[in-house]
């Protein structure tokens, strides 16, 4: 009976360690992704300002250039919206399966 208790304790510890490792990897990747997305937002914002100014000089109207840049962003947003399943959900499901169910060889 003592061997069974030891076995259950060891399996419980193994589960805790695997869960901790999986959560650590997932949180690390999430943090890195959020940092990269934040930097991407800053770069896209600055790029938008540059494009508005450049197109504004070309068209002679800042309002027209702002509308053009806004239209491009709306178009990109629609593409991302319609591809959201393939881009995000499937990617994250595969990531979590890999992290929690043996992404590394033992």
Task: Say if residues 68 and 55 touch (Cβ distance below 8 Å).
Answer: yes
pLDDT at 7: 87
What's the token pair of residue 77?
């947003």
- Residue 83, classed as helix, strand or coil, is coil
pLDDT at 49: 95
- The closest alpha carbon to 30, from 71, 103, 88, belongs to 88
Q: How far apart (Å, rounded) are the C-alpha atoms in residues 41 and 47?
A: 10
**89 DSSP assignment:** I
pLDDT at 17: 85
pLDDT at 15: 86
Flag whether 50 is in a domain.
yes
pLDDT at 106: 41
What's the token pair of residue 1?
């009976």
Flag whether 13 is in a domain.
yes
**Claim: this prediction has a pTM higher than 0.85:** no
Flag whether 106 is in a domain.
no
Flag whether 44 is in a domain.
yes
The count of structural domains within the chain is 1
Residue 52 structural domain: 2-100
pLDDT at 102: 63
Write out residues in the chain with pLDDT < 70, as ranges: 99-100, 102-106
Flag whether 7 is in a domain.
yes
Flag whether 105 is in a domain.
no
């Amino acid at each position: 009976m003592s061997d069974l208790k030891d076995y259950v304790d060891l399996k419980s510890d193994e589960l805790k360690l695997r869960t901790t490792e999986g959560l650590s990897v997932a949180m690390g990747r999430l943090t890195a992704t959020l940092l990269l997305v934040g930097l991407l937002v800053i770069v896209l914002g600055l790029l938008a300002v540059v494009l508005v100014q450049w197109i504004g000089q070309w068209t002679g109207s800042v309002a027209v250039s702002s509308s053009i840049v806004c239209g491009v962003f709306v178009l990109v947003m629609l593409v991302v919206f319609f591809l959201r399943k393939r881009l995000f959900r499937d990617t994250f499901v595969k990531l979590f399966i890999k992290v929690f169910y043996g992404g590394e060889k033992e």
